[in-house]
Structure formats: C-alpha cells, structure tokens
Structure 1
C-alpha cells in the first residue's frame, strides 16, 4: 500500500515531474514509471516529450492507444530503446505500418501487438509489413508443427518478431486478415469479439495482454487508483488516537493533505514514521531495563537503581493509610 500511496502522490504531480525533466525522472524505477505512463495516456498528457522521459528500458508492456498527441517519430524513438518489451498497443496512433520492421529489430521479445484505426490501404500495408517481420514458413519444410517450422526459419533469419504470438486487431479488414492467415497460420489474430479464443471456455488460456476488452495499462492504472484520501484521513485519525474526531476533522485533514506539495507530504510521512519508531524503541528499552533488573541480585539491583536516580526507599504519602 505504501507503493500505491507514493505512486498516487507522483501521479497527482505528473506535470511538475515532467517539467523537472530527466534529472528527476531518471531516478525512478520502471515500476513507478509504468503507472505514470498510464496516467499520462488517460489524461491526455502523453506527448513525445513525456513518452521519452517516462519510457524505461526495463518496461515489459506499453500502452499508447489513442494517444493522439504522439507523432510517428516520437513513438519510434521511444520504442527503439525498449528491448524487453513483450506487449505493445499502437491502436489509433500516428505510428506508420512501414516502420514495423524497425520495431521488430528493437523489440525481438514482443509477444502481443495491438493495432487498430487503420484504413483499408494502411491495413494492407500493415499486414504486408508484419509478414516481412515474421519467420517465413517454406512449403518444402517438413516438421511436426508450425512452431517447429517457425523456430527453424527464425534461426535462419536471425531477426524479426520471433516471439510474436498474438495480434489484437479488432477492425482488421477481411483482405488483410486473409493475407495473414494464408501466410502465417500459426499467428493468432484476434479480430472480432466472437473470436474462438474469447469464448468463456478458452478465455483462461488467453494472456491478459491479448484480451481486447482490457486496456493494456489496466494493472498500472489500478495501482494508482487504489490510493484514496478518505483512507489516508482514517489512518491519520488512528495514529493520533482521536477516534472521536468525527467527519469534520477528517475533511480538514484531507483538505490539508491535498494542499501540501509532494516534498512536504514525503517529509510529513517520514517524520510521522520516525515518531512512531521512537516510541516503540523507548518502550522496548524500558522492557530490556526491567528484564535486566530482574536478573540482577539484590545489591546489584540497588546499585543500578541508585545510578538511575531511583529512590531505594519509597516514602508513603501523608494521607495514605498504613
């Protein structure tokens, strides 16, 4: 939950982080940049500059669907530095199908590719470019399965989409779909909601990244959404031990948290944790002291108590009965 809280704080200050530039964002791990990419795409802040700053070489999935502000050159430049990418959504973007061979060389581990928003002519070009990136299956080859043929041809080619298994393309044209099926029958092209792989009996076999009904960045978006201010206010009341503070106190706490800057929130969180740790350490120190006193003899205990300023003879209060 602490990671979700930190991610939520960063997401609320996304514009400030982008303005700070690479000097600050380069310090963040990819597990924090991925949720920020999801926020940028869903809020319309995904530009070429934002993508260049947030794209991390350790990313395994990237969702750029309907990021209208991105240019082809910006997408190509960012994706070229993601060698570990396994899932990519280019639906309704400015990415040009002719650049798919370059994408194949940059992302050889890609397993799921999402396309969409292409007209009839660009769709034919995309299908042709995609076939050039896939291992060729020669009719003269003999093997037990399509996978064996693909593996053999991939070794011969030495490059391309050697790991690509799924192409999610809901609006693929019949001509492009037939072309892909004719030349690459082992490639699973999910082209319609009634595709056999989307049936309830077989859906469990489908990777989450290949499910057209779930956005590719959904897991990262959920990580950001799990933090809410009401839960933070409840935690503040619990730490303060003021169970009777009521809703007004909670609202004021939430309002105060909203107005704080990112650095101030982290400072307050650190100070709050340090205070709790100090209380626990003091309590443990007293326990250790009492345990040590019980283990001492009578003379040693009296000497230790005297050193700490504890009176050896406890006087009774005047009004206390004998």
Structure 2
C-alpha cells in the first residue's frame, strides 16, 4: 500500500509541473502550441522567382536597341524562328516602332495571331502580311488610323481561317468598322456569265465566311443592331460564362481584357519597351467639337470603298465583252470563219490518218 501511495503522489506531482510558465508574477499558464498547425498563423516566406531565360534576356537587349537594326531587319528576320519574329514584332508595337516595313520583314507563314493595334501599319502593310500569314485566326487592328475598309477586305480575302477580329478604339477605327458590315456579311455575287463553265470559283460567293467573334468595345447602338440583323452568326463583344456562350466556347482571343501578343513577350523584361529617354509620339490633337471624320474624308473613303467593290465587276464585264467581240468577229468575218473551218477539217483528217 505504501508503494501504491508513493506512485500516486509522484504522478500527481508530475502533472502539476508547468513546462511553459507564464510571465513572472502572472497566474496565466500558456499551453504548448504548434504554430505550423494553427490555421490562423501564416508565415510570409520569400517566393522563389523563376530566373529569366537566355532567349528572354537576348530579346530584351534586341528590344532596347531595336531602332538601330530596323534598317537591316529585312535581312535579319530571314534567319529568325517564327516565335522570335512574333516577340520582336510585339516589342516593336509596344515601342511605337511597328510600321509596314517592320511588319513585312517579320511576317511568318506559321503565325496564327497578329496584333498591330495602335501602330503605324497601313493598308499596304496589312495586305502584304495577310498574303504571307494565311493561317491567321485572330487579328487586332484597333486604334490603327491608317487601315481602311480596303485593307480589311483584302485581309478577309487572304485569310479564310479568320475567326476573331478586334477593331475600334478611336474615331477613325470606329468609322472604318461601321463600313466593314458589307465585308463581313456573306453574300452571293451576281452571276452574269453565259454558262456555269465560265464562272470562276471566287465569283460565286464572298464575305467573311469564317468570322465568328467581333471585339468592338465602344460599338454604338445602331451598329450593334445592324450586325445583329445582318450578321447573326457574328457575336459582338462576347462574354465568357461557366456554361458557355450560346453553347459555344468563347476563345481567349475574343475576350476584351486580353492582349493578343502578351504571350509572345511573357519572358521579356517589361523595361525593354520603357527605354529611358524614349518619347512616345503624341497623337495629333483632334477637334473638340467633333469626334467623327470630316465630310470630305467620308466622301473619299466612300469613293475608295465603292471603287474597290466594283473593280471585280468591271474586270468581269471586260472579259465578257472580249469573248462576245471574238464570237461576233467569227460570225461576221468570212475569212476568219473559213480559217476556223479549215482548222477543224485539218484536225479531223489528222486524227483519221
């Protein structure tokens, strides 16, 4: 019994030992705690940053001195891979150096995305690029004041896979986007040939056959209603939802907050296009009283658009006139008729022999 009492007393004494005493003079006893098990305790550890790649560092150096090699970019671009060309073009656009010459020097046949927004690219440059980059799926021409409906029409013609077009952003681009409704709308051309055998394949139908998404953030109500009525298959300013948009997946290129060429410069330091001492060219001041084009400019653009639209018809009429003149000449001229008959008889005799 004495041993049992001794064991009980020793156990009680050990239980009273406080291994985590509080401050001197206080009766508060702290409990042992595990700070890593406490869900409310967070330790801010330094995050490990991924070191830049060697390619990214090299492109950063090239981007900082891009204006020095633009004159020779045509020869340099021949030996560059497609992704490097796109990265250089993206840096040039951010540095306000992207123009027709730079774009034509870097355009690659494997490109599926082209972003020339806010650049000095004109109709000439975008048409030449479209002739090379025929697999373009997404194109951004927003804030490009030098690209007109003529350039957009040629892009649609040369890029049959174009699904996403981003436009608008300034008064000139907004006006051009309104004029492009007739380009985006698929239609049957008027057929005036004498027989189906004389028709060309591209004369049967025209229009943006594959265009599905139009990103135009500041579209006016009238243009939106026109697009909804005339081009119901083209979704204007699509929004992504967890259940899909009209049971169709909205591609990332069609989301408004996305910049198309961001992926091309992901590994490049952003200070590359913020070169010290570089001054961005200021846009020419626009009259405060009006945000639209002048009447003379509207007439000029309308005339160019009409001339471009009627050019294929004029060429087709000329071909028809030439063929009919040739037939009338054979019917009216006895010598020509005799020559044709002699040629036919000669062919038949040669075939029999």
Mapped to 2, the partners of 1:214 and 1:85 lie a distance apart of 17
1:89 maps to 2:140: yes
Larger CA Rg, structure 1 vs 2: 2
Mapped to 1, the partners of 2:202 and 2:151 lie a distance apart of 22
Q: Larger % of helix: which?
A: 1
Confirm or deny: 8 A CA contact 1:167 1:187 kept in the other structure.
Answer: yes
Within-5 A mapping of 1:283-298: none
Within-5 A mapping of 1:191-270: 197-199=239-241, 202=244, 205-225=249-269
1:182 maps to 2:229: yes
Ranges in structure 1 where 5+ consecutive residues have no aligned partner: 138-153, 229-322
Mapped to 2, the partners of 1:224 and 1:125 lie a distance apart of 34
Alpha carbons of 1:124 and 1:43: their partners in 2 closer, same or farther (altered >3 Å)?
Answer: closer
Instruction: Give CA deviations for 1:241-300 in whole Å, capped at 9, x if unaligned.
Output: xxxxxxxxxxxxxxxxxxxxxxxxxxxxxxxxxxxxxxxxxxxxxxxxxxxxxxxxxxxx
The farther-off stretch of 106-115 and 95-104 is: 95-104
Secondary structure at 1:206's aligned position in 2?
coil
Secondary structure at 1:62's aligned position in 2?
strand
Secondary structure at 2:180's aligned position in 1?
helix
2:186 is matched with 135
**Alpha-carbon deviation of 1:220?**
0.9
2:98 is matched with 46
Mapped to 1, the partners of 2:218 and 2:92 lie a distance apart of 25
Mapped to 2, the partners of 1:198 and 1:155 lie a distance apart of 35
Aligned pair count reads 205
**Alpha-carbon deviation of 1:185?**
1.1
Secondary structure at 1:224's aligned position in 2?
coil
1:35 is matched with 87
Mapped to 2, the partners of 1:96 and 1:155 lie a distance apart of 23
Alpha carbons of 1:9 and 1:163: their partners in 2 closer, same or farther (altered >3 Å)?
Answer: same
Secondary structure at 1:217's aligned position in 2?
helix
Mapped to 2, the partners of 1:124 and 1:181 lie a distance apart of 18
TM-score norm. by structure 1 comes to 0.55
Secondary structure at 1:99's aligned position in 2?
helix
Alpha carbons of 1:117 and 1:61: their partners in 2 closer, same or farther (altered >3 Å)?
Answer: same
Ranges in structure 2 where 5+ consecutive residues have no aligned partner: 1-52, 189-200, 273-353
Secondary structure at 1:40's aligned position in 2?
helix
1:26 maps to 2:73: no
Alpha carbons of 1:218 and 1:24: their partners in 2 closer, same or farther (altered >3 Å)?
Answer: same
Alpha carbons of 1:185 and 1:133: their partners in 2 closer, same or farther (altered >3 Å)?
Answer: closer
Mapped to 1, the partners of 2:222 and 2:89 lie a distance apart of 34
